Chains A and B, each alone.
Chain A
Amino acid sequence: MGKERGGDIIIRDITIGQYYPAKSVLHSLDPRVKLAGTFLYIISLFIFESLSGYVLAGLILLLTIKASHVPFSYIVKGLKSVVFVMMFAVFFNVFFSHGQHQLVKYGVISITVEGIELACFMAIRLVYLILGSSLMTFTTTPNQLTDGLEKALAPLNRLKIPVHEIAMMMSIALRFIPILLEEADKIMKAQSARGADFETGNLMTRAKRLVPLLVPLFISAFRRANDLAMAMEARCYRGGEGRTKMKPLKYKRLDYVGYSLVASYLGIVFVIENYII
């Protein structure tokens, strides 16, 4: 049986940050609410010092996942790609930590009770952070996300930050990811047909072999960018000024409910951290 070889390896690896089409309360929420909610949730993760805080954050996360109608296993898959980073963080926290209750001391390595505790919390924080933010991308289309960002960051315009242009760049980048992946696949196959080997050897040799792939890919990306710029100008694009929206963002009642839920979550966090230990 002919399994497809070559470029599909790259495509399969990208799971995080994808959109999962479904019908749920979370999907129909205004992207600004989701952006604000995710942002505040992430901040709240770094305020916690008590165990009850972690329990609360976990519960909230579980509830929102349930409400998103995205299968739990699908969300967890997104964690795979960051396991390495997580192990790295945990490793350093466990083996190079300071604390009063020292367990092992050998040269530069020292393991303490505090260090292990810290590493555990760090791991939990990272898991929450990744699950929380990927939940946002799972329930928001790239276009909604960039629209939301553009609208939410609009005040930055006064600081001469080109918010519209950045949002436009993001959405174009998202549009061209599949096109460039396809192109990379084509180049890979064309080079494999002429004897290039992308599959054997250790990590270093394989990485080196990618260079002849990247050069044509970059050239073609530049050519595409040039063409696209011309096509955009031909369609009267001249930046964000005076532009109207086909799908303007408008808050509905649901969005206000969303905001108040986020606010009450923050309120509870505040109470827990300050009055209950």
Chain B
Amino acid sequence: MDIVKTKELVYEYIRKREDGSIEAVKRAVDDVNITVKKGDFVAILGHNGSGKSTLAKQLNAILVPTEGTIWIDGKDTKDESLIWDIRQTAGMVFQNPDNQIIANVVEEDVGFGPENLGIPTEEIWKRVDESLKAVGMTEYRYHSPNRLSGGQKQRIAIAGILAMKPSCIVLDEPTAMLDPNGRKEVLQALLDLNRKEKITIILITHYMEEVIHADSVIIMDKGKVVMEGTPGQIFQQVEKLQELRLSVPQVTELAYRLEKGGLLINNKAILSVDELIEELIKWKKTSQCVNRK
């Protein structure tokens, strides 16, 4: 079952002059066809202005496509009557953690979503408990969000979405404003949610390191999907990525350069230090064999 499916999706930003005539049209999303399977961890990568945030906002029905269609769990986002249903199915976490926390106490903020959905009080408490536990923030439940670190605030925001029991969470550059530690915290929380709770994660980012653990990667440029595949497949094409001004993880680049220099002979991209070590050991053994001959 596909949780997200788009068909010939187009979104245009229209800038108007004061008299109402059209001054400029910018096509932010251009003919995008993607599908996301239930339970997957999908990363959408792209440079600034590649249209990835615009795409994300359409998944939550904040923006409605200019042309084409998006189905979230089979529901068309153009249908006004389904809008709250869609927002509950595909929850959304934004970039700035400060600007999405509403309440003055952590647990009350997590309860905000369920309150809006009209969930009975006891059930709200249950959901808040579960959500805070899932992101590892239970001990901060009585704190004020102002005193928390960026990574902790972002985890609270994720818990707030989680309490609405979505089947899919869309995150629009959730780690862009965080320090390296905060980034790790948030990414770990997302991986846990994906594996333990089987929640579909759509992560929009421009950090290559966050993409390694994804099931599939979609790369966007100038509003179009330019590459699609597993992290292994994507990172094999180092040159194409560099053309798109995207950097690859350091280990991958090192392996790529070693390969170019004739050191490693394999046809897959190296994504972690361990993999590189393994390959190096293999290479050493084979090269020793060659020497002995």
Contacts and interface: CB of A to CB of B under 8 A. Distances in A.
Contacts, number: 89
Given A175-B103, A179-B98, A236-B87, A243 B146 contact: no
Contacts of B114: 244, 246
B272 interface: no
Given A171-B104, A246-B108, A224 B98 contact: yes
A234 to B, nearest CB: 4
Interface string A67-81: 000000000000000
A246 B121 contact: yes
Contacts of B101: 175
A141 B104 contact: yes
Contacts of A242: 118
Contacts of A172: 102
B62 A243 contact: no
A247 B104 CA distance: 14
Nearest to A176: B98
B39 interface: no
Contacts of A245: 115, 121
Contact of B100 (A231, A236, A238): A231
B156 interface: no
Contacts of B105: 143
A142 B144 CA distance: 12
A199 interface: no
B94 A236 contact: no
B87 A175 contact: no
A179 B102 CA distance: 12
Given A172-B102, A231-B99, 18 more contacts: A143-B104, A143-B105, A171-B102, A171-B103, A231-B92, A231-B94, A231-B100, A231-B102, A234-B91, A235-B112, A235-B113, A235-B164, A237-B112, A238-B84, A243-B115, A244-B118, A246-B115, A248-B121
B176 to A, nearest CB: 13
B164 A244 contact: no
Interface in A93-115: none
Contacts of A175: 101-104, 145
B286 interface: no
B124 A246 contact: yes
B81 to A, nearest CB: 13
B118 A234 contact: no
The bracket for how many chain B residues form the interface is 35 or more
A153 B103 CA distance: 21
A235 B166 CA distance: 11
Nearest to A239: B116
B160 to A, nearest CB: 7
B62 A233 contact: yes
Contacts of A178: 146
Contacts of A143: 103-105, 108
Interface in A221-235: 224, 227-228, 230-235
A244 B120 contact: yes
B96 interface: yes
A141 B99 CA distance: 21
B60 A234 contact: yes
B146 A244 contact: no
8 contacts: A171-B104, A178-B146, A231-B92, A231-B99, A231-B102, A236-B164, A242-B118, A244-B121
Nearest to B160: A235
Contacts of B116: 235-238, 243
Nearest to A143: B104
A91 to B, nearest CB: 39
